[in-house]
């Protein structure tokens, strides 16, 4: 993934993620290569009331 401009609460992803990709949005600090994950549904199409810090 290539990250472009960052601000306090937004990072622009320039490449490396395409529509339909599954993205970890919380708990990523606990991941390591080859780690098993459990996918849970979220309402990712609805923006949060407050944008989380990246």
Condensed to tens digits (0 to 9), the pLDDT of residues 18-48 reads 988 888 877 888 889 988 888 887 665 555 5
pTM of the full structure: 0.44
Q: What mean pLDDT comes out for the span 2-24?
A: 87
- The span from the CA of 5 to the CA of 2, in Å, is 10
- Tokens representing residue 46 in the block: 């609805």
- Return phi, psi of residue 6, to 5°: -120, 145
The more confident residue out of 8 and 54 is 8
Task: Tell me: pLDDT of 8 over 70.
Answer: yes
Q: Where are the domains of the chain?
A: 1-41
Residues 6+ apart with CB under 8 A from 23: 17
Res 27: pLDDT: 81
Res 16: pLDDT: 93
């Amino acid at each position: 993934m290539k990250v472009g401009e960052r601000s306090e609460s937004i990072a622009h992803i320039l490449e490396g993620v395409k529509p339909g990709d599954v993205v970890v949005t919380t708990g990523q600090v606990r991941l390591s290569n080859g780690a098993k994950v459990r996918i849970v549904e979220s309402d990712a199409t609805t923006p949060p009331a407050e944008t989380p810090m990246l």
